[in-house]
Structure 1
Amino acid sequence: VEPLVKMVEVDGSDLVKDFAEEMEKMLGRKMMSVKVGSAIFLSYSLFDYYNALLINTMDSNGNYVELGQEFPLEKNEHFNKLPVNTQMSSIQVPTNVYNKDSEILNGVYMSEALNDIFVDNFEKDPTLTWQYFGSATGFFRLYPGIQWTPDENGVVAFDARNRNWYIQAATSPKDIIIVVDISGSMKGLRLTIAKHTINTILETLGENDFVNVIAYSDYVSYVEPCFKGTLVQADLDNREHFKLLVEQLQVKGEGKVKKAMKESFRVLNEVSMGQGSLCNQAIMLITDGAMEDFQEVFEEFNWPERRVRVFTYLIGRELTFAENVKWIACNNKGYYTHISTLADVQENVMEYLHVLSRPMVINHDHDIIWTEAYMDTVVGANDDILLMMTSVAMPVFSKKEETLSHGILLGVVGTDVPLRELMRLAPRYKLGVHGYAFLNTNNGYILSHPDLRPLVGPCLTAQHVYLWFLPCSRHVLVLRSHVFLTTVLCLLCLSRGSFMSSLKNAFFIRLHDLTTSDVTIANEWTYCETDIDPHHRKYSQLQAVIRYLTGKEPELECDEELLQQTMFDAVVTAPMEAYWTAIMLNTSGLDEGIETAFLGTRSGLMRVIRFAENEKRVAKKFLSPLDKENIFTLDHFPVWYRRAAENPAGKFLYYIPREDTRGIFPNMAVTACLRVCVCVCVCVYPRASLHRVSLYDYQAMCKMSQHSASSARPLLSVRALCSISVCAERVVRCSYTKRHCCHTNKKNKADVLQPCDTEYPSFVYDPSIKETNSIIKCGRCQKMFVGQQIPDSNLLLMVVQSDCDCSRQYPLINMEPKEVKYILPCDRMKSMKIRRRPESCHAYHPQVPHSCLLSD
């Protein structure tokens, strides 16, 4: 065997280029399906449609209700095991939209041709997931068709026009200044409506937009003084920060809007010189009336070009000053709306997006956009099928000549792409033990990463996940890595000196070495592509590989290089089966307590033999399909594989799987371990060559204090807490168990969590010191300790004198993560991140009408 094998260094540059090319091909197929979907629309004719809320619903007489005809549904593995109809799409209409309105019926019929396009797209590319069309009138066409379930109050709140994919596709990047009236006349319900209007506008913004909020009465004030005179990126953190501040607004004084308008124009003019989005600019004026004369303000700052649009929102039932508010919008290419109740807010706010889309519509520029990462909580929102997604979408315009100058946006067509499908394209076996692939957005945020944690316990950390920094490893490890990237924002992190075996010739196939009962391969890896043909989806990766190698499924697309590596590993490790079987049959040679023997290879192949029956095993979950941390997954090698690879050859690794800690040690033993370990760390680490290292979690969730925006005691995810080192990382590890992570306050079950950064300590023992001892003075007594490395292992034996109490002189170290309080939070929030602006911008077109745009 050895003459056929050589070791070659992995070339990260070539690897990331191949990764990018495969991703471009995949994304190209998704974009093509969207382009085809945007091209076909029909004219109006009265007809019924499949309403997703009413399908298969019968009345008391056994007849189908109106819009609720028979709609066959069948569970489909590819669509999260949900009942779907892959031959038809269904229509979802929000509760606040009349489902028989003439505009809805017209739009549904116009988009009926999409049904055949969706079916055809799915037949051509079976890896496609949800395809959809969100209409400007409010309905949502979804393929495959499903039955929509309302909430516990019978309400369907989902509105496609509020989704990020719709908003980004419908408009170009924008600079927005929200100007809100907080004079005395805005008290009560008016202020409540105004606050809700601001929050709704903020929700229409994304990371390519820039924003600020100005309040005015007798004088002008920024809701966040830190952002005075500038715009900040409308990312999730800043939007949520604005919402908190808006809730604190109180009415006072007399409304003098002229000063606020001047300040807004001044800021927009300054940022147009190089900051902000360098695209659309708009002022959103929220008031219950305007009595001043604004003509000179507009003449000075905005006329005659009118590059800054002004949208006005008249709050309250009274229309005394409506004409002035209308005049402001009409003379600045904006839009006027009257909001008298909270229910009016959503529909009226969304109108400004259609106005901003007009230059793009008139140009017929079908820009394709990709959204940032988000959790798919709309369709099937239980923990088992929550997925991180990105969406590709593009706008759909009216092509009628008579409406061309009006720039009518019909809606947005799009499809979802699970990020796991993108990451499957990365050749995991070539990345090595500590290597990984990740994706970045144009704004420098993480789109996909192995350590991305959108869920903290049962809590969704954010609808859109923005992260600046994610570590290569979650424990203390000195490692030099190389990062390779491409212009499609695919990145690879490789350990320095990554090698893999290369076979000089095709290795002979001994298929029986792969079919023995002790062999498994990484089912999340792509040895063979089973998603292209629906008939292949029933196969596991091992079944697909065997059927391909035996010629039963020659049309399967398989990774020949990975298959060759896997067969090589299967042949080389085959003698282990006979060796383990001989040990198991020779009961006298098997030590008591040994439950499982296993090995793993770089190709994802594992051999596992159980020496004890399942009911007798303590570590029942270990190496089971649910034990993600200890098997090969899409994101990482098993933790025991990674930890062992960090040590030199011939050194034994002793490791306690996290899920099995409580089974191996009784609760008392675990508690004692923590107490002794922490005491040793406190008392002896300066003298015992234990080095304290601070680790950081940039995805933590902290409980909000009743008196401030955050508190000092966070609740971390299970994965983060359980990885905290209490003693020397390389020699002994007493980890937190799951019960420590899931502790809740019984007195206050409704704790509100917010994203935060936390810091926690770890202690690393110097491996060059084989033995150390010292005496610690603790008041009237002395504590002696001895530390000694156990040869050829990662264990450290610590013997500490127990009859001397040092707790007063050496308080216990708090091992729980603490929230990081930044000294200059203002500078951090408004700092301009390194980003690449979107290439496309549609801010102006000479044919956009100057006529007054009103909505009463």
Structure 2
Amino acid sequence: MDARKTPSKIDLYDVRRRPWYIQGAASPKDMLILVDASGSVSGLTLKLIRTSVGEMLETLSDDDYVNVVYFNTRVNNTACFDHLVQANVRNKRFLKDAVRNISAKGITNYKGGFELAFEQLSSLNVTQGRALCNKIIMLFTDGGEERAQEIFQKYNADKKVRIFTFSVGQHNYDKGPIQWMACTNKGYYYEIPSIGAIRINTQEYLDVLGRPMVKANNKAKQVQWTNVYQDALELGLVITGTLPVFNKTNTKADKERGLQRPQNQLILGVMAIDVSLDDIKRLTPRFTFGPNGYYFAIDPNGYVLLHPNLCPKNPKFQEPVTLDFLDAELEDEIKVEIRTNMINGETGHRTVHTLVKSQDERYIDRSERSYTYAPVKGTDYSLALVLPVYSLHYIHTTIGDTITQAKLELVSESLQEDKFEEYGYTLIAPREYCKDLKPSKNNTVFLSMYSLKSIRNSVLFL
């Protein structure tokens, strides 16, 4: 962000909070956030917990799944979700709003809270909507004497679920039990005594989740492509290819023995490169598609990367731009099938009878469209070309052919908008295309202007 444009503002830019870093720093995860809502957390501690949960949700991307559960005497879902949901912008905002309504009362019930948390993480009825990679429980509490040891032995004897615990607020409660919970279940323990400690402590867990990626070596070194988001340097909408960077240094003793054993097993950061959507558009032969022809691309979540209707008016700097393909177009059964096939990386072709909006979004036409789609090699994206059926044919001529211009001056004059009243016409549906091209009585001049426009807006490959 250009500091000259915001001289009076504090620079709060944190690369670790950007969408591309979040997606590149860790593998997908299923996260259950467990909130202590007993009477002892009332006041400032509850405010810190609410803020901490909100910051924790911001460390998740669309590849993750999450739910928030709070417990006191009873155990309840914070929102109306009774299972994990995709951590998209809408669901995270919904969970944040629900967390603000939590009130503190009753007594602490770790056993009930952890039991519901493990049940939701192990639920099989929504397996298709899961990350199926890392499983995590995040506990936000002020401390307590209970360890819930029998619950861990019952549900997590194999230690497949990591448990991270957060001691929130300034108090004199025994921290030993919640430290034991984290260490026994391959997690980590953090303290959040004040609001200044929230931001850094709610993202430290990403370093712990990055350790298995170090051990995976080249298997984890795969370029991941992000969702569309607003660039911080004001380059507009971009996507980013990311690659994690690992610490693989060895100790002196290991080097002397010839052992290749990482010393710290840490992820150092994320290397990335931005690709502007405008640059991608310039590489496409848009002017060969004909009238009403277009292309679009989607990511594995069904969000459009490229689409004529992807025009966010005020994209937020902190959030990715997420527009589902079925929201970008008028939904029907065939388009649902096309979306599913594209997400699965299939190649195919379908003809669809659909309703199409005009470019000015004022009119709806019934049209027949041809959808041809295929995966993009080396990425998780899938690309589609959409053409009206009349664009499947074209006029073929040779260079020596003579172009004859038909001139019907009376008809042309009567169709001018300012002549409508004189000739008794009514303007029903004004639709303008190529607004920056001025009409000409000479075909050669008009074609020359059109060619210059094509050269300016596209890249020619010779």
TM-score by length of 2: 0.75
Identify unmatched segments of 5+ residues in structure 2: 252-260, 330-355, 377-381, 411-415, 420-432, 442-452
Deviation at 1:422, TM superposition (A): 1.9
Are the structure 2 counterparts of residues 288 and 405 from structure 1 closer, same or farther at C-alpha, using a change threshold of 3 Å?
same
Distance 2:145 2:111 in 1: 10
Deviation at 1:400, TM superposition (A): 0.5
Q: Give the alignment partner of residue 215 of structure 1, picking from 54, 70, 74.
A: 70
Secondary structure in structure 2 of the residue aligned to 1:455: coil
Cα shift readout 1:794-818 (whole Å, capped 9, x = no counterpart): xxxxxxxxxxxxxxxxxxxxxxxxx
1:245 equivalent in alignment to 2:133: no
Q: Which amino acid aligns with 1:281?
A: K
Q: Please say if residues 482 and 493 of structure 1, whose CA atoms lie closer than 8 Å, have aligned partners that are also in contact.
A: yes
Cα shift readout 1:496-551 (whole Å, capped 9, x = no counterpart): 1314546565x37xxxxxxxxxxxxxxxxxxxxxxxxxxxxxxxxxxxxxxxxxxx
Q: Give the alignment partner of residue 326 of structure 1, picking from 174, 179, 183.
A: 179
Q: Please say if residues 52 and 202 of structure 2, whose CA atoms lie closer than 8 Å, have aligned partners that are also in contact.
A: yes
- 1:480 aligns with 368
| 1:558-637 mapped onto 2 (5 Å cutoff) | 572=403, 606=437, 608=439
Distance 2:185 2:5 in 1: 41
Percentage of pairs with the same residue: 31
1:395 equivalent in alignment to 2:244: yes
Q: Please say if residues 211 and 231 of structure 1, whose CA atoms lie closer than 8 Å, have aligned partners that are also in contact.
A: yes
Distance 1:350 1:262 in 2: 25
Q: Please say if residues 248 and 264 of structure 2, whose CA atoms lie closer than 8 Å, have aligned partners that are also in contact.
A: no
Q: Please say if residues 283 and 311 of structure 1, whose CA atoms lie closer than 8 Å, have aligned partners that are also in contact.
A: yes
Distance 2:292 2:2 in 1: 44
Q: Give the alignment partner of residue 295 of structure 2, picking from 422, 437, 442.
A: 437
Q: Please say if residues 184 and 253 of structure 1, whose CA atoms lie closer than 8 Å, have aligned partners that are also in contact.
A: yes
- 2:13 aligns with 158
Distance 1:149 1:359 in 2: 42
Deviation at 1:205, TM superposition (A): 1.0
Q: Please say if residues 68 and 78 of structure 2, whose CA atoms lie closer than 8 Å, have aligned partners that are also in contact.
A: yes
- 2:269 aligns with 411
- 1:498 aligns with 391
Are the structure 2 counterparts of residues 342 and 460 from structure 1 closer, same or farther at C-alpha, using a change threshold of 3 Å?
closer
Q: Please say if residues 371 and 390 of structure 1, whose CA atoms lie closer than 8 Å, have aligned partners that are also in contact.
A: yes
Cα shift readout 1:440-474 (whole Å, capped 9, x = no counterpart): 11111222210123115x98896422333223423
Deviation at 1:188, TM superposition (A): 1.4
Deviation at 1:401, TM superposition (A): 1.8
Distance 2:29 2:4 in 1: 35
Distance 1:592 1:374 in 2: 42
Q: Give the alignment partner of residue 54 of structure 2, picking from 192, 199, 212.
A: 199
1:465 equivalent in alignment to 2:322: yes
- 1:357 aligns with 210
Distance 2:148 2:243 in 1: 38
Distance 1:375 1:256 in 2: 43
Distance 2:437 2:179 in 1: 71
Q: Give the alignment partner of residue 340 of structure 1, picking from 188, 193, 196.
A: 193
Identify unmatched segments of 5+ residues in structure 1: 1-145, 509-567, 584-590, 595-601, 611-629, 636-856
1:316 equivalent in alignment to 2:179: no
- 2:224 aligns with 369
Are the structure 2 counterparts of residues 358 and 460 from structure 1 closer, same or farther at C-alpha, using a change threshold of 3 Å?
closer
Deviation at 1:273, TM superposition (A): 8.3
Deviation at 1:633, TM superposition (A): 10
Distance 2:21 2:317 in 1: 22
Deviation at 1:347, TM superposition (A): 0.4
Q: Please say if residues 75 and 112 of structure 2, whose CA atoms lie closer than 8 Å, have aligned partners that are also in contact.
A: yes
Distance 1:289 1:252 in 2: 15
Are the structure 2 counterparts of residues 148 and 254 from structure 1 closer, same or farther at C-alpha, using a change threshold of 3 Å?
same
| 1:740-759 mapped onto 2 (5 Å cutoff) | none
Distance 1:462 1:358 in 2: 27
| 1:720-759 mapped onto 2 (5 Å cutoff) | none
- 1:71 aligns with none
Q: Give the alignment partner of residue 298 of structure 1, picking from 140, 149, 152.
A: 152
Q: Please say if residues 35 and 141 of structure 2, whose CA atoms lie closer than 8 Å, have aligned partners that are also in contact.
A: yes
Distance 1:634 1:443 in 2: 30
Distance 1:176 1:460 in 2: 25
Q: Which amino acid aligns with 2:270?
A: V
Cα shift readout 1:146-176 (whole Å, capped 9, x = no counterpart): 9745955542101001111111111111000
- 1:236 aligns with 89
Are the structure 2 counterparts of residues 425 and 359 from structure 1 closer, same or farther at C-alpha, using a change threshold of 3 Å?
same
| 1:52-131 mapped onto 2 (5 Å cutoff) | none
Q: Please say if residues 19 and 320 of structure 2, whose CA atoms lie closer than 8 Å, have aligned partners that are also in contact.
A: no
Q: Which amino acid aligns with 1:486?
A: A
Q: Please say if residues 182 and 215 of structure 1, whose CA atoms lie closer than 8 Å, have aligned partners that are also in contact.
A: yes
Distance 1:151 1:313 in 2: 35
Distance 2:145 2:211 in 1: 30
Q: CA RMSD in A?
A: 3.6
Q: Please say if residues 371 and 384 of structure 2, whose CA atoms lie closer than 8 Å, have aligned partners that are also in contact.
A: yes
**Greater mean alpha carbon deviation, residues 286-295 or residues 403-412:** 403-412
Deviation at 1:429, TM superposition (A): 2.4
Cα shift readout 1:460-499 (whole Å, capped 9, x = no counterpart): 8964223332234232211111111102310111111314
Q: Which amino acid aligns with 1:250?
A: S
Secondary structure in structure 2 of the residue aligned to 1:492: strand
Distance 1:205 1:269 in 2: 20
Deviation at 1:287, TM superposition (A): 0.3
Secondary structure in structure 1 of the residue aligned to 2:153: helix
Distance 1:270 1:482 in 2: 40
Are the structure 2 counterparts of residues 152 and 290 from structure 1 closer, same or farther at C-alpha, using a change threshold of 3 Å?
farther
- 1:255 aligns with 108
